[in-house]
Amino acid sequence: MQRRDFIRSGAMAAGVMAVPNMLRAQGSKARVRMGFIGVGNRGTQLMHIFMKNPLVEVTALCDIYEPYLKRDESAYDPKFFEWGLKGRMPSFHQKDGTLKPQEAALATRIKAGTCRLYKDYKALLADPEVDAVCIATPDHWHAIMTIDAIKAGKDVYCEKPLTTRRRTRARSWPWASTGAATTRTAS
């Protein structure tokens, strides 16, 4: 599978417009091994979308909030519910109480050790079993994580906005346009 096709299918599935001149195909592989950095509300949505693509394999997750990282809804802080944030937290179950198919597949992979869990995104970036990353952390992390991912040779799908500062934007795009990796943002 061409990276180009992977990025296109992922972006299309997420309802995102492509930015063709940011594409830099790195060759072809049978499957794209993806790591997800920030698996909260949006990161989980994106992961579920990417997992519908049979050419995607989830090999790593990263989050600093352990219940999200370990996919354990029972450990969510009760304050979140008191504050009315229920709808803004990832849900791993369907209405009938069974695990969503993607979460069931993920649980199997985590148990088997084929999907590794990281609290430090740099440790995920150092994982050679990760070809591409999806970044869905809070806005202020997007630019630095994208730059670090590209430096680590990973392809990147990053949530919008890529950066909150013009100076950071100017520093990050040259990496995207001249580096070895492909990037795409959901803006």
Contacts to ligand NAD by CB under 6 A? 37-38, 40-43, 62-65, 68, 121, 136-139, 141, 159-160, 186
Q: Considering the complex, state which of residue 101 and residue 138 has its C-beta at the smaller distance from ligand NAD.
A: 138
- Residue 137's contacts (CB-CB under 8 Å, 6 or more residues apart) are 37, 38, 43, 121, 145, 159
Please check whether residue 25 is in contact with residue 5, taking contact to mean a CB–CB distance below 8 angstroms: no
| Minimum CB distance to ligand NAD smaller for 56 or for 61 | 61
Sequence length of the chain is: 187
In the complex, least distance from residue 66 CB atom to ligand NAD, rounded to whole angstroms: 9
Q: How far is the CB of 132 from ligand NAD (least distance, A)?
A: 17
Closest distance to ligand NAD from the beta carbon of 45 (Å): 8
Of the candidates 156, 100, 93, the residue with the CA atom closest to the CA atom of residue 124: 156
Between 138 and 174, name the residue whose CB sits nearer to ligand NAD. Answer: 138
Q: Which of 62, 8, 4, 15 is nearest to 34 (CA)?
A: 62
Q: In the complex with ligand NAD, which residue's Cβ is closer, 10 or 38? A: 38
